[in-house]
Chains A and B, each alone.
Chain A
Amino acid sequence: MTTLPAIDVTGLDCGYDGKAILSGLNFSVQRGEIFFVIGGSGCGKSTLLRNLIGLLRPLAGQVKFSGESFTNADAARRRELLRTFGVLYQSAALWSSLSLRENITLPLEEYTELTRDERDELAALKLAQVGLTGYEDYFPAEISGGMKKRAGLARALALDPEIVFFDEPSAGLDPVTSRSLDELILAIRATLGTTCVVVSHELDSIFAIADRVIMLDKQARGIIAAGDPRVLARESKDPRVQEFFHRAAFPEAAPNSH
């Protein structure tokens, strides 16, 4: 296996209508890493995510997956690259007219030569992996919010991607469900060595599962801190970083450093 980073971002400017919200971003995500993009509301976390997954075009700079440019790829190559990652959207974005099985088999139908039976077996496996064994015939409207997120993750895993992007996975979930989703992220990484990129501002999740974080800031329009969140919380001198990590009480991970 190559040692190239799973994602490499160089000189990335992103924003809307030619106006950059974030500029000059440089960072890379290693294989098998659980990488968090954190920061307060409106700092551009979601914009960055949309640039990484190709929903928005960078204003400048580029995004590379395993050393290969995603930004400059031609249409055919881009399609190839698209299937190497999965995305769990904030609202799970399950297709409401399809059952959970069909939600998962659709990408398989699109990209593989598997037979219908094999696809169904895989859908059952993916649902079992996220703890929804036996829910194949349910429609998204018939399951709860936490289950939708799990099913969304099962769909993101359908093609065994190397990278899974999570957009605010804990949004709208109770702490227990949110915690179980964190565990699921760890389990997926342990089983398949998947690289996980999580956009979140949930301190509990950050301290529980993140290997490394980058913190974005609205005023700085870029990265103001990077590294292990536990170390950052303890040792960073930057008041913005301190404010972010210590806004919520989290005794073990955020000991008093004053």
Chain B
Amino acid sequence: MPATPATPAPCAVLHEEDGVLTIALGGRWRITSPRPAWDPPTERTPRMIRLRMDEVEAWDSAIVLYAFTVSRWARSAGVGFDASALNPAVRDLLQKMEGARETIVPLDRSKNFFTVVGLIASDLWTEKKEISHFVGECVISAGYLARNPRKFRWRDCLSEMQACGAMALPIVSLIAFLVGLTLAYIGAVVLRQFGADIWVADLVGLTMVREMGAVMTAIVLAGRTGAAYAATLGNMRANEEIDALETLGIRPVDFLVIPRIVALGVMMPLLALYANALGIIGGMAVAAGVLDIPPTAYWIEMLTIVDLSDVSTGLIKAFTFGIIVGISGCMRGMQAHRSAAGVGLAATSAVVTAILFIIVSDALYAVIFNILGW
């Protein structure tokens, strides 16, 4: 409320008679302004303390707090406390305040070491089960939609393709170009010592096509699209939209997840191909600008080592990564807790899961392709 010009400050006037200490409170008591301090009498302990508030113009919790401080002191000093002259509402609040700290509704959040270890183990097990369950559901849904293509949400799938593919071109271009450029610089440092500058073309070409094109694109899309999927689906979960699908007998996986995974499965290889090209151009730029290798020479040298099998291994990986990003994004979104924090956690965990599985599957592919001699 606006301060009235002359606001009488709260005051407490002490007066002792026959061992009864009367505290007369007055003025306007506001919790947001200062209030008189309670100084316990030091010389002579009274027999009884009595509170009065006849002079009080306005009061709120501040006066209750003051009365509470006095009554607590009185109790600890073994002095009688008389609040009968207080306003009944103040008395009632004072009683509540005294009672409040004595009641504690028990709540046990403590956990011992074994509980924690047990919980972690059981979480890991649940996690494994949930992932298998979700992947299984996706496979069943995919099979069902393959048999009933009319049920597939083509429109959603196309708009997701645009969102995760075409709209990701600028960031993918930038990153792929810079990765190609960096590779060329690093290659140049080593190869130059042997006068083998021209092999920068082989290094950049092979690394981009077999490895970096797919991996970098996948990591960008895990952050960009995977997190978005998790947030979208998490929000839909919080909004009960997913429950609404379930009660209609529509499998949310058919409706929401498969179109997104298909979109990523299609767009990721295309983006990786595009990233390969830009990475090679990045390398070419360094070769031409720093190493004085003409682009034609660079191109011809690269073609001697990069062949179709390299490109296709890259694309196989990219396709796998696309599926991984889609599945982790959608899975985390579907598992999200129904709260604002739950959506945030889902997005974070989608990115972490996706990157983890991208790296693991990349290593697996390295072994497999090595055995197959591709």
Interfacial residues, chain A to chain B (CB-CB below 8 A): 1-2, 65-68, 80-81, 83-84, 96, 108, 111-114, 118, 121-122, 124-129, 133-138, 141-142, 159-160, 162, 190-192
Of the candidates B32, B62, B99, the one having the most CB atoms from chain A within 10 angstroms of its own CB is: B32
A205, B7: Cα distance in complex, Å: 37
With contacts A1-B58, A160-B60 taken as known, whether A121 is within 8 angstroms of B97 at the C-beta atoms is yes
With contacts A67-B2, A121-B101 taken as known, whether A111 is within 8 angstroms of B60 at the C-beta atoms is no
A135, B96: Cα distance in complex, Å: 14
Chain B residues lying within 8 Å of A190, measured Cβ to Cβ, are: 89
A230, B107: Cα distance in complex, Å: 45
B65:A121 contact, CB within 8 angstroms: yes
Chain B residues lying within 8 Å of A80, measured Cβ to Cβ, are: 2
Residue on B with the closest CB to A77? B2
B2:A192 contact, CB within 8 angstroms: no
Interfacial residues, chain B to chain A (CB-CB below 8 A): 1-2, 4, 30-32, 34, 57-58, 60-62, 64-65, 68, 89, 92-93, 96-97, 99-101, 103-105, 107, 339-341
A129, B4: Cα distance in complex, Å: 29
B2:A191 contact, CB within 8 angstroms: no
A133, B107: Cα distance in complex, Å: 14
Chain B residues lying within 8 Å of A122, measured Cβ to Cβ, are: 31, 61, 65
With contacts A125-B97, A135-B105 taken as known, whether A192 is within 8 angstroms of B89 at the C-beta atoms is yes
A133:B99 contact, CB within 8 angstroms: yes
Chain A residues lying within 8 Å of B65, measured Cβ to Cβ, are: 114, 118, 121-122
Residue on B with the closest CB to A192? B60
Quick one: which of A134, A141, A192 contacts B104, CB cutoff 8 A?
A134
A81, B101: Cα distance in complex, Å: 32
Quick one: which of B58, B89, B107 contacts A191, CB cutoff 8 A?
B89
Chain A residues lying within 8 Å of B34, measured Cβ to Cβ, are: 113
Q: Number of residue pairs across A and B with beta carbons under 8 Å?
A: 80
With contacts A66-B2, A159-B31, A192-B60 taken as known, whether A134 is within 8 angstroms of B103 at the C-beta atoms is yes
Chain B residues lying within 8 Å of A136, measured Cβ to Cβ, are: 104
Known A-B contacts: A1-B57, A125-B64, A160-B30. Give 6 more (CB < 8 A): A2-B4, A125-B97, A128-B99, A134-B104, A134-B105, A160-B61
* B306 → A minimal CB distance (Å): 52
With contacts A96-B340, A125-B97 taken as known, whether A160 is within 8 angstroms of B1 at the C-beta atoms is no
Of the candidates B4, B30, B101, the one having the most CB atoms from chain A within 10 angstroms of its own CB is: B101
B1:A65 contact, CB within 8 angstroms: yes
A128, B93: Cα distance in complex, Å: 9
Residue on B with the closest CB to A136? B104
Quick one: which of B1, B61, B92, B100 contacts A133, CB cutoff 8 A?
B100
A136, B102: Cα distance in complex, Å: 12
Can you name 14 A-B residue pairings with CB atoms under 8 Å? A65-B2, A84-B1, A114-B31, A114-B65, A121-B100, A124-B100, A125-B64, A125-B96, A126-B61, A127-B100, A134-B103, A141-B339, A160-B61, A191-B93
* A191 → B minimal CB distance (Å): 5
A111, B103: Cα distance in complex, Å: 28
A96:B339 contact, CB within 8 angstroms: yes
B100:A138 contact, CB within 8 angstroms: no
B32:A83 contact, CB within 8 angstroms: yes
Chain B residues lying within 8 Å of A96, measured Cβ to Cβ, are: 339-341
Chain B residues lying within 8 Å of A135, measured Cβ to Cβ, are: 105
* B86 → A minimal CB distance (Å): 13
A125:B100 contact, CB within 8 angstroms: yes
A124, B100: Cα distance in complex, Å: 6
With contacts A122-B65, A125-B64 taken as known, whether A138 is within 8 angstroms of B31 at the C-beta atoms is no
With contacts A66-B2, A121-B65, A122-B65 taken as known, whether A138 is within 8 angstroms of B105 at the C-beta atoms is yes
A57, B103: Cα distance in complex, Å: 44
Residue on B with the closest CB to A96? B341
* B114 → A minimal CB distance (Å): 24
A122, B61: Cα distance in complex, Å: 8
Chain B residues lying within 8 Å of A2, measured Cβ to Cβ, are: 4
